[in-house]
Amino acid sequence: MSRFWSPVVHTLTPYVPGEQPRLANLIKLNTNECPYGPSPKALEAIRAATDDTLRLYPDPTAHALCAAIARAHDVPADHVFVGNGSDEVLAHAFQGLLNHDDPLLFPDISYSFYPVYCGLYGIRHETVPLDEGMHIDIADYRRPCGGIIIPNPNAPTGMALPLDDIRTLLTDHPDAVVVIDEAYVDFGAETAIALVARHPNLLVVRTLSKSSALAGLRVGYAIGQPDLIAALTRVKDSFNSYPLDRLAQAGAIAAIEDREWLAKTREKIISSRNRLTDSLGKMGFVVLPSQANFVFARHPDRDGAYLASALRERAIIVRHFRTPRIAQWLRITIGTDAECQALITGLAEVLAQNRG
């Protein structure tokens, strides 16, 4: 606390990002990063962009990047907005589209940045409980609201809604913006982008941090009809007109255009996820059906915090949340097959010791 702080700072509960520890020989399965390097074409584009043009500001509209995204998703370029990671895009959406008198709705177990944005911008909100199976029940969202935001697939559960459920949400709330946060959609879920043309209240938010392996570059984007994009742009240009530097724009364009690399990497991660799910199940873990690049698992006879700590002693880091409903669960990023095998070996040792 400080007497120099603005009043809003005293009330904030900041987001706690996933740990980025500096440990030797670490197997890092806690922040849902891609275990494989980015597209070689993206790396080459970044290298090529490190010329004397770095003395100039980047294109504030990121015109070429927006055009590449539009081509990739078969939408008009004026339906695209880009930002410094999907977190910034979401922040602008919370401020510019979801801040109304009626409460914003989102799941009670979901991306933990959502209530942080609400605190920062003074947005009234209500959390909607997942059912006992950790599913989102869209019937629970049939109530007055100022907007809805749902990750699809949800995080940290990894479970996804079918497109028909999203369509129902949109038709149930024609006068409220529905944001579908698709950070993990490339790993098995169905994108809602096809619904944008018929639903002016839909905003789809994506990131290049996960499936494109560019978490260190910080590029996110949104797709929606032009009036929603205009709101995001007005907020952006009242905050930072140049959110994406020249290197980020160049690398992102190349990554988006390298569809072959994306397809191959995605297939490897999905195959590894299926094998890891099977292995965990054979060890007695309950594993939710994931369509993301992570799994959410618990052991019925072992404490989640203990398992996370014991793995850490073996230089294997997974994500453990202390939130009451999910305190016994571990969120485990899909690594390489070798990393997943090391995890299974480590868990087997821990479970054997615990029984002894």
Q: Which helix (H) or strand (E) holds 210?
A: none
Amino acid at 342: A
Task: Give the range of the structural domain holding residue 320, as residue numbers without chain letter.
Answer: 17-36+259-353
Is 244 found in the same domain as 112?
yes
Q: How many domains does the chain have?
A: 2
> Residue 153, preceding bond cis, omega within 30 degrees?
yes
pLDDT in tens, 55-72: 999 999 999 999 999 999
Q: Is 148 within 8 Å of 141 (Cβ atoms)? A: yes
Alpha-helical (H) ranges within the chain are 7-11, 40-48, 63-73, 85-96, 114-121, 163-172, 226-236, 246-257, 259-282, 304-313, 337-355
Q: For residue 245, what is the domain's CATH number?
A: 3.40.640.10
Residues in the chain: 356
- Of 130, 124, 125, nearest in space to 153 by CA: 130
The pLDDT assigned to 21 comes to 79
Same domain, 232 and 312: no
Contacts 24+ apart (CB under 8 A), 202-206: 202/170, 202/177, 202/178, 203/93, 203/97, 203/177, 203/178, 203/179, 203/228, 204/179, 204/180, 205/86, 205/89, 205/90, 205/93, 205/179, 205/180, 205/181, 206/86, 206/182
Which CATH number characterizes residue 29's domain? Answer: 3.90.1150.10
> 234 with 288, same domain?
no
pLDDT in tens, 137-160: 999 999 999 999 999 999 999 999
Residue 2 lies in a domain: no
Residue 323 near residue 355, CB atoms below 8 Å: no
Q: For 209-247, what is each residue's pLDDT tens digit?
A: 999 999 999 999 999 999 999 999 999 999 999 999 999
Q: Are residues 155 and 72 in the same domain?
A: yes
Domain boundary among 205, 238, 258: 258
The pLDDT score that the predictor gives to residue 24 is: 73
How is residue 183 written in tokens?
A: 């950070």
Q: What is the pLDDT of residue 353?
A: 87
100 and 66 in one domain? yes
For residues 162 and 164, what is the distance between their CA atoms, to the nearest angstrom?
5
| 304 vs 297: CA distance, rounded Å | 9
13 and 190 in contact (C-beta within 8 Å)? Answer: no
Residue 130 shares a structural domain with residue 230: yes
- Say yes or no: 307 and 224 in one domain: no
CA 189 – CA 177 distance, rounded (Å): 21
Same domain, 327 and 290: yes
Cα gap 102→96, rounded to integer Å: 15
Q: Does the residue 342 lie in any domain? A: yes
**Is 211 among the domain residues?**
yes
Query: Domain boundary at 258, 293, 321, which?
Result: 258
pLDDT for the residue numbered 99: 97
Residue 277 confidence (pLDDT) above 60: yes
Using CB atoms within 10 Å of the CB of residue 235, give its burial: 0 to 12 exposed, 13 to 18 middle, 19+ buried: buried
Would residue 189 count as lying in a domain? yes
Is 5 domain-assigned?
no
DSSP state of 301: T
* Residue 175 located in a structural domain: yes
Would residue 345 count as lying in a domain?
yes
- Same domain for 216 and 281, yes or no, is no
- Cα distance between residue 295 and residue 204, in whole Å: 23
Beta pairing, strands 147-151 & 125-128: unpaired
Q: Show Cβ contacts of residue 27 under 8 Å, excluding neighbours closer than 6 positions.
A: 315, 316, 317, 335, 339, 342, 343
Percent of the chain with pLDDT over 90: 92
Q: Are residues 251 and 264 in the same domain?
A: no
Is-contact 160 186, C-beta < 8 A?
Answer: no
Location of structure tokens 């240009």: 237
Q: Is the dihedral of CA 130, 132, 134, 140 positive or negative?
A: negative
- Is residue 166 predicted with pLDDT exceeding 80? yes
Task: Please state, rounded to an integer, the average pLDDT across all residues of the chain.
Answer: 96
Q: What percent of the chain has a predicted confidence (pLDDT) above 70?
A: 99
Q: Are residues 101 and 212 in the same domain?
A: yes
Position 182: which residue type?
A: E
Q: Tell me the average pLDDT across 269-298.
A: 98
Domain's final residue, options 216, 243, 258: 258
The pLDDT value given to residue 262: 97
Only one residue has tokens 């790993």, namely 187
- 27 DSSP β-pair partners: 316
Q: Tokens in use for 143? A: 């109530």
194 and 285 both lie in a single domain: no
Is pLDDT at 16 greater than 90 in this prediction? no
pTM of the model: 0.96
* Residue 7 domain-assigned (yes or no): no
Measured CA to CA, the distance from residue 334 to residue 332 in angstroms comes to 6
Radius of gyration of the chain measured on its C-alpha atoms? 21
